[in-house]
Amino acid sequence: MSDWKRILSLFSAIASLSACAPNARYDLVVNNVAVVDMDTGESAVRSIGVNGQRIETLSKAKLKGRLAIDGTGLWAIPGLWDMHVHISDRSFFDLFVENGVVGVRDMGGDATKPSDGCESINIETLHGWRAEIEAGERLGPRIVAAGPIATGNPGANHLLATTPESARGAVAEIVRRGGDFVKVYENIPPAAFRALADEARMRNLDFAGHVSEETLTIIEALEQGQRSIEHVRSHLLICFAESDAEMEAFYDADGWTDEDRLWGAKHRALCPEIWSRLRDGETWVTPTLAVEQTRYDGEKPGFENDARRAPLPVSIRSAVADFSERLRMRSNEERAEAEAWMPAQFAFVAKAKKEGAPMLAGSDAACEGVIPGYGLHDQLSLFVSAGLTPLEALRTATIEPAAYFRVSDKRGRINADYDADFLVLRADPMKDIRAAQQIAFVILRGRAIDR
């Protein structure tokens, strides 16, 4: 049975229960569930009462609802947000929801049909799907979408931002087409970048995305107020090292030339200021470890045949097969250099934790083999492998996205007067991050959906 048919069946159950409990105060209750506090990691057994799309109360006593779920022996955590996805097909939505992803930040594109999974469908189509979801006509997560990207790279689906004038025009076009924020991409010159940032501020829009290694420093992005830095590219990655010796070892393993090392030394000198600005400012880093990991796993036998990709468009599945084939054809030297990259990414995450830099969970689904929904759980597990605790990892998909969107007063926690978006789990996620995948129910907009 499809997820959509399950939810319709469950709504029928709600209707029949209503007649049996005419005096019920709540539309939905989850009784006697261990509610995990995302601030402390501690859990307390509570009953959650939901009316409409909001949590109305947390009670020590059992509550009466039109639909009542027995949460005895189960755990509740806030619903998860994947903060870096590229939606190109409606098949993504079931995959997100069945994995407890209640919200996504779509990082942009302007495709007219699904392609390789690394570019989003045009925002007009996304707006239509989002309207259907919000009207209850389609099952799906909350969506925040960039729309077409602003970039210094020419392209059929790009908004060129190579001069101050064209950068301002790109922002105006994103606004005209209904983008929720401005996605910045590669090779934007400094003057154009400053104009883009200024125009976005004037229009009360955040901007987020890449920081081009070729044209910008991380400091320039931070000075202009970039809301998030997506991926950990070389001029940010080199801030992982605690010592020059550690840095030199990475240079050697990754095959950096003398010229590369001079470039690295220039950017590495900025690292103390980068950490200070990240710690004290309002910019998040999104280390997309899930897509980095596919560059290792992708050459393994059977990677491209993962049955979980079956619902995805043919174009995406074909692109994954091509991706795997390219990885298998790498030279030994290319493979050795690539193998230096993931430990450095892990070390960067550990350093960011130590420095107090805020991070977001983003999988880059459905690019390069990352599976929507499942990829976020890969990301959380990789965060833990890199040194975060399960609580710290879960915060990157709950509390931190809420802070990023400036809605900490209504999302990211299980509290009264918060959105009724939470997960009921069969195991304790504070003991093992993989428990976040053991979902009994997804509560999305106050509606209960079984896995």
257 phi and psi angles, rounded to 5 deg = -80, 175
Per-residue pLDDT of the chain (451 residues; tens, 9 = 90+): 444 444 444 443 343 333 345 678 999 999 999 999 999 999 999 999 999 999 999 999 999 999 999 999 999 999 999 999 999 999 999 999 999 999 999 999 999 999 999 999 999 999 999 999 999 999 999 999 999 999 999 988 899 999 999 999 999 999 999 999 999 999 999 999 999 999 999 999 999 999 999 999 999 999 999 999 999 999 999 999 999 999 999 999 999 999 999 999 999 999 999 999 999 999 999 999 999 999 999 999 999 999 999 999 999 999 999 999 999 999 998 998 889 999 999 999 999 999 999 999 999 999 999 999 999 999 999 999 999 999 999 999 999 999 999 999 999 999 999 999 999 999 999 999 999 999 999 999 999 998 7
pLDDT of residue 157: 86
* Structural domains present in the chain: 3-78+412-450 (2.30.40.10), 80-145+231-404 (3.20.20)
Do strands 65-70 and 54-59 pair parallel, antiparallel, or not at all (unpaired)?
unpaired
User: Are the beta carbons of 116 and 109 closer than 8 angstroms?
Assistant: no
Q: CA-CA distance, 341 to 347, in Å (whole number)?
A: 10
